[in-house]
Chain A
Amino acid sequence: MLYFIEQFLNGIQLGMLLFLLAAGLTLIFGIMDLVNLAHGSLYMLGAYFAASFAAWTDSFVLGAILAIAATLVVGMALEVIAIRRLYGRNHLDHVLGTFGLLLFFDELVRLIWGPAGMTLSLPNEMLSAVQILPGLFYPAYRLVIIAVTLAVALLLYVLVMRTRLGMLIRAGASNREMVGALGVNIKLLYTLVFGLGAALAGFAGLMQAPILTVQIGMGENILIPAFVVVVIGGIGSIRGAFVAALLVGVIDTIGRAFLPDLLHDYLSESAAATLAPALSSMLIYLLMALVLVVRPEGLFPAAGK
């Protein structure tokens, strides 16, 4: 039971990270109607920036803040230089263009930081484990991830639903021309949204960095699960992304933890050993296929699209 709770918390933690990525992805998808394959690159950049800045300032927190600022700037610059010109084009042009960006960023990182990975070490107080239940110790840092991303999710909700900027973002999503005609600088708005998405992706990258190694290609591996979250949640829906992210995170983690034992009960040793890792990796894709068959627009279809 304790093992289950531990794995469940791991699942929540993975889900929260996926949410950070999916939130930006779904905003960009829903508002600018842009398929952004380079979103994972911003996640990678966030991790690399954090590793470098933390080493430079000798502080994890300071490095993290600088890294978020840096990905925000990179994201906004990227929007102004390139992404902006892809709005209103068909999805294939998006795939071609942002796939090019993905290749570019991987290579750029290899040029700047070299092909070997980096590590981002945590401050000592976050390295310890906390006793959250009698007999259950849980890494403090993973709790920090859950708490901080929850706070970010809440902030994002307030920003989009309760502020004037959020109102403009939502209005821009439903009718770009009308909002522009009312005198809103829609170009600037889009740049801000893209920058926000980039910063969220960078934030996810740097939060994940101490758990995994910082390496080239980390963005490609997380991008597809993030897309799965966006599609399950319903494109453009932040609420949907939140629910779907938790769902995907928990199902993936629990599947990996318990499926091998479960299969052992029904199958031979070798069959289970072959099937379990493949099946547990497939679970989230099965979930997505299932959701799309039952609800083709995702769990929470964005209204008015």
Chain B
Amino acid sequence: MSDRRKHWRDSRLSPRVVVNAALLVVLALVPVYAALTGDSFAMTLFARVLIMAIAALSLNLIMGFGGMVSFGHAAYLGIGGYAVGILAKEGIGSGFVQWPVAVAASALYALVVGALSLRTRGVYFIMITLAFAQMVYYVASGLDRYGGDDGLTIYHRSQFGDFGLNNATLFYYLCFGLLLASIYLVWRIVNSRFGLVIRGARLNERRMRAIGFPTFRYKLVCFVIAGAMCGLAGALLANHTNFISPAMMHWTRSGDLIVMAVLGGMHAMFGPLIGAMTFLLLEQGLSHVTGYPDLILGPLLLIVAIYVNGGIDGLMGGARRG
């Protein structure tokens, strides 16, 4: 690497910083654009981007930084969503109840799944997290009272005292704020002593144990934090679509989340956001143009997997090592 490029990378205005900052500005201005043009669909689409970005970010915390490849992350979206949906159906519309329940239920599930799965390694970990997610999927399908396979419509969004989430702009900025808070939280975690242990365990777990860290406990805590964060995304998603169904936990949805995280760049703080945005916008844009979006999207993912190291973030040069 030439000195000039090295300087470029180290300077505060590297391409990465510019791109990330531009991204946030664009996201912040989406409601303004929607208000000016009357294009409410843009805001719906981008709210979805924000929510899926939170989910992908939480996955990236354990997968990108912790090396724990969870193939069942959509289960948390479902648990968070069902917490909101079930409580709403039972007449408890307050978000002050619904959201903590969504987060706590996801955290509890993550604790159980993590405690069992973290004993396995590599592919077996991928498969066992997938197995647990499948179980949750079938439990949701069996909940006849809450729609079973067909899912459940949520007639009233979460109510926070006098504040409702029916105002689309308000809801959008809530998602945006929570995404920023999540990014900040993940950044703080990754750069803390706790995060160093997690990253160390990804690179060489045996060595971390040898110098005295109970890595299992550290990884389990990290796993639970990620689960809770994704449960929150699930609560948002249920409010966004006003609908929950087992389909939101289908294993291909977990695949989508992995794709978003890897596509954006796993070792980068903004990677999951970039990945979620690219994936969802491409899907939307391509289906607008061709009617067969996956015919192009699929091979594109393959090409990224084969040729691009470090996802889209890696394209911005100087791929960082987590």
CB within 8 Å of B: which residues of A?
A: 29, 35, 37, 82, 85-86, 89, 91-108, 110-111, 220, 224, 227-228, 231, 235, 273-279, 281-282, 285-286, 288-289, 292-293, 296-297
Contacts and interface: CB of A to CB of B under 8 A. Distances in A.
Interface stretch (B138-146, B164-172, B179-187, B235-243): B138-146
Contact of A110 (B71, B131, B292): B292
Interface string B249-272: 011100100110011001000000
A292 B124 contact: yes
Interface stretch (B87-95, B294-302, B312-320): B294-302
B138 A97 contact: no
Contacts of A82: 302, 306
Contacts of B116: 289, 293
Interface in B122-166: 122-124, 126-128, 130-132, 134-135, 138-139, 141-145
A282 B262 contact: no
A301 B295 CA distance: 38
B322 interface: no
B295 A100 contact: no
A16 B225 CA distance: 41
Given A100-B305, A101-B302, A108 B295 contact: yes
Nearest to A231: B127
A191 B32 CA distance: 54
26 contacts: A85-B306, A91-B69, A91-B126, A92-B69, A92-B266, A94-B305, A95-B259, A97-B301, A97-B306, A99-B252, A100-B298, A100-B299, A100-B302, A102-B298, A103-B298, A104-B294, A104-B295, A110-B292, A224-B130, A227-B130, A228-B131, A235-B123, A274-B144, A278-B139, A289-B116, A292-B120
Nearest to A288: B131
B301 A103 contact: yes
Contacts of B299: 100, 104
A92 B302 contact: no
B17 interface: no
B148 to A, nearest CB: 9
Contacts of B119: 293, 296
B293 interface: yes
Contacts of B26: none
Interface string B63-75: 1000001010000
Contacts of B259: 95-96, 99-100
Contacts of B305: 86, 89, 93-94, 96-97, 100
Contacts of B143: 274, 278
Most buried by A among B121, B134, B294, B298: B298
A110 B298 CA distance: 14
Contacts of B127: 227-228, 231, 288, 292
B35 interface: no
B22 interface: no
Given A102-B298, A103-B298, A103-B301, A91 B141 contact: no
Contacts of B123: 29, 35, 91, 231, 235
Interface string B278-301: 000000000000001111011111
Contacts of A107: 292-295, 298
B297 to A, nearest CB: 6
A143 to B, nearest CB: 30
Contact of B255 (A37, A110, A275, A289): A37
A285 B117 CA distance: 13
A107 B300 CA distance: 14
Contact of A101 (B130, B141, B298): B298
B28 interface: no
A100 B296 CA distance: 9
B304 interface: yes
Contacts of A285: 131-132, 134-135
Nearest to B266: A92
B258 A99 contact: yes
A97 B262 CA distance: 11
Given A99-B255, A235-B123, A282 B266 contact: no
Nearest to A297: B124
Contacts of A37: 255
Most buried by B among A35, A82, A92: A92
B322 to A, nearest CB: 13
B262 A92 contact: yes
B302 A296 contact: no
Given A96-B258, A235-B123, A288-B131, A275 B142 contact: yes
A223 to B, nearest CB: 8
Contacts of A100: 259, 297-302, 304-305
Given A224-B251, A273-B144, A278 B138 contact: yes
Given A99-B258, A100-B299, A228-B131, A220 B251 contact: yes
B138 A282 contact: yes
Nearest to A106: B294
A283 to B, nearest CB: 10
A279 B138 CA distance: 8
**Cβ-closest 9 pairs across A and B:** A278-B142, A100-B301, A104-B298, A97-B305, A103-B298, A107-B294, A103-B294, A281-B138, A285-B131
Contacts of B120: 292, 296
A209 B194 CA distance: 52
